[in-house]
Structure 1
């Protein structure tokens, strides 16, 4: 979910992120990782944008990753191959405080090569950095400011100044979810209005994704139980089970406990 929020924000507010990370508010467009000719190492966390003369590669992380150095070096080479004429800037942004030394790693080194990249630890960044532009507001609670509740109150006030209701709702949803890395759900609900969350198109998109993931997990569980109970399913039966709604899958999960053979499944499916 954090990956999806960060992707949404950097895609919708690319000039805000460019001003922060590159020092100039230039417009950036999205690069699909699949354009680099090989499968992305971890597509959900890779965010690639380009301007006329520059490539910005960012990765937002909530936990340390020992493979980060290799990933940054690997993507740098891929980007160089695809865009040899452009400057490449790489930034790893850690969202949650940790004592791990991995969040201070800025070099990937082997016996024959060395590659450097930037690292930002949000809990060491000044609060003011995130209050100057709308796209960075959701990260303010993760800054070095000590009183997180006061910061969230201040962000809410800034959000209320945004005239566009849809933009305000989306930024409020992003803020509430990112604030969960530092504040309790009860505190966030107390300080932020829940109707704003429900009206957010981004929040609804995240909910739909969660439901889809839940459906996939439910289907996998039911299929495993069916296989144990009645044996392997034919492609036709497998296809029919795959087409069931979450409600029907839940009903099947209960009914299969009484199945004695494949015929019971066929009868249940009708």
Structure 2
């Protein structure tokens, strides 16, 4: 099963400060994550200093079959390291409420593992880390001040060369695909930075790329769009990201609006409200 966001393609290893939060003992060595005989591949595997084996799996959506998947991973790891105690942790990074179970009980089998919702971690703990990767993963944690988080990310990029900044920005935008509101604000803050981002740079399936806010707002190929059009696009994209579709007549109605202040006020209401349709009905008479 393919994840919407493949964290293992973003990070080769868990950043320093996050590793201290997730691991019960210091990491002694990283281990191979693929199991050719079973065609399985785990997200993260390491031997800890207490000689136990730690397996961490990142999950971006609720999967009712997760206990069976974790059991398959456990058996593959046990076969390779039969004398080592095995600890398993599922780190949920999705945007919806965590609904997965941490145990599997069958007639002749009882199996369990730990689950952590990454939003239980205060993002400030990672933002103060000297490791730029820690700061990136802060995007997925509990965020009370999005402006401060974005400021930290931008400040992190200041000492990088152009290619490093581009790579860092793409990773941030990949992660915040899981946090639509934060992604919109980050995109607005960085869209004037002298970084050329092309559609092929964005790690999303083609079916999602067409809807992606970065693609839709014209950052690709360094394209510049007017502030009015940007605000109009922001409203349409924000509604689509929250509802999963664009209500009939919305785009035409938004394109008719030439008052940027009104559009910015509408954007703030849409970001803060879960009742999107009620806001549209009140503000746009839809």
Quick one: which of 171, 191, 212 aligns to 1:174? 171
Distance 1:99 1:29, change over 3 A: closer
RMSD over aligned Cα atoms? 3.3
- Is 1:51–2:47 an aligned residue pair? yes
Q: For residue 121 of structure 2, what is the aligned residue in structure 1? A: 125
User: In structure 1, what is the Cα distance between the partners aligned to 2:35 and 2:196?
Assistant: 32
Quick one: which of 96, 104, 107 aligns to 1:108? 104
Q: How does 1:189-268 map to 2 (within 5 A)?
A: 189-192=187-190, 195-196=194-195, 198=197, 204=201
What CA deviation, in whole Å up to 9, does each residue of 1:122-166 have, x standing for no partner? 2221113322232222221221122334322222223435x5765
User: In structure 2, what is the Cα distance between the partners aligned to 1:81 and 1:112?
Assistant: 20
Q: Determine which structure has more spread, i.e. the larger CA radius of gyration.
A: 1
What CA deviation, in whole Å up to 9, does each residue of 1:208-249 have, x standing for no partner? x857xx9xxxxxxxxxxxxxxxxxxxxxxxxxxxxxxxxxxx
Contact 1:3 1:60 in 2 (8 A): no
Distance 1:140 1:210, change over 3 A: same
Q: For residue 82 of structure 1, what is the aligned residue in structure 2? A: 80
Contact 2:92 2:98 in 1 (8 A): no
Contact 1:60 1:94 in 2 (8 A): yes
User: In structure 2, what is the Cα distance between the partners aligned to 1:75 and 1:28?
Assistant: 19
- Is 1:70–2:68 an aligned residue pair? yes
Q: CA deviation at 1:180?
A: 2.9
* 3-state SS of 1:51 partner: strand
User: In structure 2, what is the Cα distance between the partners aligned to 1:110 and 1:150?
Assistant: 47
- Is 1:150–2:151 an aligned residue pair? no
Please state which structure has a larger fraction of its residues in helix.
1
- Is 1:39–2:39 an aligned residue pair? yes
User: In structure 1, what is the Cα distance between the partners aligned to 2:31 and 2:190?
Assistant: 31
TM-score normalised by length of structure 1: 0.60
Q: CA deviation at 1:91?
A: 1.6
